[in-house]
Amino acid sequence: MPRNHLISIDDLTDEDLRGIVRRGAEYAAGGCEAARPLQDAVVGVLFRKTSTRTRTAFSAGALRLGGRLITYGPGDLQENTGECTEDTGAVLSRMLDVLVARTAGCEEELRAYADQQRMAVVNAMSAAEHPTQALTDLTTLFGRFGRIEGLRVLYVGEGNNTASALALALSRFPGTELHLRTPPGYGLDRDYLDRALRHAKEAGSYVAERHDMDELPEVDVVYTTRWQTTGTVKPDPDWRRLFAPFQVDAAVLEQAGPGAVFMHDLPAHRGEEVTAEVLDGPASIAFQQAENKYHSARAVLEWCLTGTPADSLGR
């Protein structure tokens, strides 16, 4: 059966996107615990960069769904001795059902792994996009609010791979608002912003980016990420001065309005992108969001191997 690849959020149809989110929420709610759609499937887990949540979520998720694991570290594959990515993918596809890979490199490398139909490939974070994080975020929003449509999100911080994926995903739901406040010179990649704007035009949603913290909108969610994105180094030695005004503190949360919740993809650095008062406060759902990485991972793995739209799963 052909496998479904998840390299970018834009690889998903609207039906698949909504279906994976709903399925993740079903897992989070404690349903489907008897499901074993990966029974006897073999899942390869390749991480060349550090990971706590994503690696654990997909490993535990595969095992819970009846799958078996083979794990690879950064020095384990013959790519390190010169084998090309295409050959590695061709070989792995004859032995694995799914490859979950964090390379922190370019998307093209993951697409080279996916240039076959025997093994599903999941992007567990590339330099430009973190699609499984966006699915986790939407699962968290759906679980909290019972809907995605019409939700308003303020994203504060670097326009990194988490922000790119969030913009691509949230903009496809009617009535949503995504307000991006990024430091000057550290905004969303232009290609991703343009794609999100196109989605917003088609779906009837709203996406806008500014490089200041003035006149913050009233929103349902305030979201930030760590200032030093995993696997990257900022070339500007003075970058902290530019980022300092973009810290999420109690004043930012208060401006968001009553009932606003706080989200963070973690790991967090208290006192930098967020104060301890906010991260550990009553409005924070960051650690529920982290748990939802596991529930969302199960939904993604199930979708990868069913060959059918996720929207029909569990019915």
How many CA atoms within 13 Å lie on the side-chain side of 239?
15
Q: How confident is the model at residue 67 (pLDDT cuts 50, 70, 90)?
A: very high
Edge-to-edge order in the sheet of strand 221-224: 206-210, 177-181, 152-156, 221-224, 261-264
In the prediction, which pLDDT does 307 show? 54
Q: How confident is the model at residue 233 (pLDDT cuts 50, 70, 90)?
A: confident
Percentage of the residues of the chain whose pLDDT score is greater than 70: 96
In the prediction, which pLDDT does 306 show? 82
CA distance 44 to 99: 5
Torsion sign (Cα): 302, 306, 311, 314: negative
From 219, 232, 306, select the one nearest 263 (Cα to Cα): 219
In the prediction, which pLDDT does 179 show? 98
160 pLDDT exceeds 50? yes
CA distance 299 to 212: 37
In the prediction, which pLDDT does 234 show? 86
In the prediction, which pLDDT does 152 show? 98
CA 307, 312, 315: angle at the middle one, nearest 5?
Answer: 130
**Whole-number Cα distances in Å, 11 to 122, 175, 225:** 11, 22, 24
pLDDT in tens, 8-51: 999 999 999 999 999 999 999 997 888 899 999 999 999 999 99
Query: How many helices and strands, by DSSP H and E, does the chain display?
Result: 11, 9
- Give the chain's domains with CATH numbers: 9-130+294-307 (3.40.50.1370), 133-290 (3.40.50.1370)
Q: What is the mean pLDDT of residues 168-196?
A: 97
In the prediction, which pLDDT does 34 show? 84
Amino acid at 314: G
Q: What is the mean pLDDT of residues 84-95?
A: 94
pLDDT in tens, 270-295: 999 999 999 999 999 999 999 999 99
Is pLDDT larger for residue 164 or for residue 80?
164
Is 269 strand, coil or helix?
Answer: coil
In the prediction, which pLDDT does 177 show? 98
Tell me the average pLDDT of the chain. 94
Q: How confident is the model at residue 232 (pLDDT cuts 50, 70, 90)?
A: confident
Q: What is the mean pLDDT of residues 151-179?
A: 98
In the prediction, which pLDDT does 33 show? 81
The pair phi, psi for residue 5, each rounded to 5°, is -95, 145
Is 235 strand, coil or helix?
Answer: coil
Q: What is the mean pLDDT of residues 83-109?
A: 92
In the prediction, which pLDDT does 315 show? 39
Q: How confident is the model at residue 312 (pLDDT cuts 50, 70, 90)?
A: very low
**Residue entry with tokens 């999420």:** 248
Is 82 strand, coil or helix?
Answer: coil
CA–chain centroid gap for 312, Å, is 22
The pair phi, psi for residue 236, each rounded to 5°, is -85, 115
310 pLDDT exceeds 90? no
Asked which of 1-15, 193-207, 260-274 is least confident by mean pLDDT, the reply is: 1-15
Q: What is the mean pLDDT of residues 294-302?
A: 97
In the prediction, which pLDDT does 253 show? 98
In the prediction, which pLDDT does 309 show? 47
* 69-84 exposure pattern, b = at least 16 Cβ within 10 A, e = fewer: eeeeeeeebebeeeee
From 75, 74, 73, 72, select the one nearest 92 (Cα to Cα): 72
From 241, 242, 228, select the one nearest 161 (Cα to Cα): 228
Is 19 strand, coil or helix?
Answer: helix
